[in-house]
Amino acid sequence: MGRREVCNRIHEVGIVPAIRVDSSDDAVFAADAVASGGIPVVEVTMTVPGAIDVIADLVRRHPQMLVGAGTVLDRDTARRSVDAGAHFLTSPGLDPELLEFATGGEIAFLPGALTPTEVWATWKAGCDMVKIFPCAQVGGPKYIRALRRPFPHVPLIASGGVNQHTASDFMLAGASALGIGGALIPREAIENRQTDRIHELARRFLEAVRTARVQLQAES
């Protein structure tokens, strides 16, 4: 699956669940629950113990799921993630070595950025999408809307502070997709293996994305 196809799929789904838990078993449960809840995308952060093995397991068992490696900080981790089957890579910021590795291997690269200068530099360097993090601390949906004015052509993933109350607002502000962690996959739901609870949250977030897009289409 090429970079463009991966990014198109992320945009289509509109949600990138971020899994940041304390064990590989918890990570596998969370990813399985999200997938069966209707969200065929997941980002496994490198802070998860055994993250590379988790990625390989998910890719093997969920051939229709986009599995990404998150918080990638060096080229070796990126290489091992891709060898395990990762479809995309994310990092806290733009790293030229990671970008070179990703583009050379036709792997989608979604680095983090915050300021307008960082957004422009990241996009101009050739990255596929730009993850705006942390959104909540700098104005939430209003900040995404402000960034869309000078960068209407840059696909932005809003991350940090996205919850049930703000999801629609972020989409209406112009986000291409939403990066969501604990609001979609609560720690308590993972610890108690509450698959149904995660399914309900997935349904609500998917509906928020759909409703916002319908409204935007009606307004255009």
CA distance 9 to 33: 19
Point out the catalytic residue in the list 5, 12, 43, 118. 43
For residue 89, give the H/E element and its range: strand 88-91
β-bridge mates for residue 69, sequence order? 44, 89
Query: Is 43 labeled as catalytic in the residue annotation?
Result: yes
Catalytic residue among 5, 100, 118, 131: 131
Give, as one character, the DSSP assignment of residue 61: H
Beta-carbon-side half-sphere exposure of residue 38 (alpha carbons within 13 Å): 16
**Helix (H/G/I), strand (E/B), else coil: 91:** strand
| DSSP for residue 173 | T
Q: How far apart are CA 98 and CA 89, in angstroms?
A: 9
Burial of 109 (0-12, 13-18, 19+ CB in 10 A): buried
Just list the catalytic residues. 43, 131
